[in-house]
Amino acid sequence: MAGRAEFLERIRREVAKTPGLFGASTAPRPPRPAAAAEAIRRELAERWPQALDRFRQEFERVAGVFHRVPDLAAVPDTIAAIARERGARRLVTWDPAILGFDAGARLAADGCAVVTARAGQEDEASRLRHRADAAAAQLGVTGADLVLAETGTLILLSGAGRPRSTSLLPDVHVAVFGRDRLLESLEQVGVMLEDLHVDPDAAMSGAMINFITGPSRTADIELTLTRGVHGPKEVHAVFVEAP
């Protein structure tokens, strides 16, 4: 019993060294999620620059790499530069129809092999094949369904044409998003998810929701920190300025 008490006390001491960035409290569920979500969107239409700046600061604080491009047409060049700097030759991406751009031709010009997921092709064989491709890839490209400024967190929903293996298995994860994805607080995220799940079709019933805050980190009992054991070693966020 003494050993257990000492172990728990050591955990308390280590946790106390880094206080939380903000206080946590329970938020009530909105009675009308759609109206609450629309109110947040109206507010963020004016405050998104401040939210973006807070996201960048917190994202870089957790070792994320932030990029800013003028429009979607500039995204393939940014991804190609990241792939070139990291020596990545094999890439996997979400469905280009979901991303809003297709980087395949640009990356192929650099000699990269690109495998894209396709919505409507989610049979067991295709899922297993994409999972194997993602495990062999050095870089995965996704969008971001929500972006949480106060913690520098990317929030991704899996579903048709957007397998979670794309962000989890390659060494480098690149997420692309615009201002309409930015949120300021976890409470706002809760409202948006409530609104999303009012409509089972829009919610992609059964999808996984992944909260990604920086690269994968794992510490053993001696608190030795290792990156990339349970996910990417690097996470890049590409913000697209054009609405």
What does the pLDDT average to over 88-97?
Answer: 96
CATH class of 53-240: alpha beta
Q: What is the enclosing helix (H) or strand (E) of 92? A: strand 90-93
The pLDDT tens digits for 200-237 are 666 555 578 999 999 877 766 766 667 666 679 999 99
The pLDDT tens digits for 14-70 are 888 877 766 667 777 888 999 999 999 999 999 999 999 999 999 999 999 999 999
**What confidence score (pLDDT) does residue 69 get?**
98
Encode 46-76: b = buried (16+ Cβ within 10 Å), e = exposed. eebeebbebbbebbeeeebbbbebeebebbb
Taking the domains of the chain in order of start, what are their residue ranges? Answer: 53-240
* E strand intervals along 118-233: 139-143, 146-148, 153-157, 172-178, 182-183, 209-212, 217-219, 225-227
**What confidence score (pLDDT) does residue 136 get?**
95
Residue pair 159/95 in contact (Cβ under 8 Å)? The answer is no
pLDDT confidence bin for 132, thresholds 50/70/90: very high
For the entire predicted model, the pTM comes to: 0.84
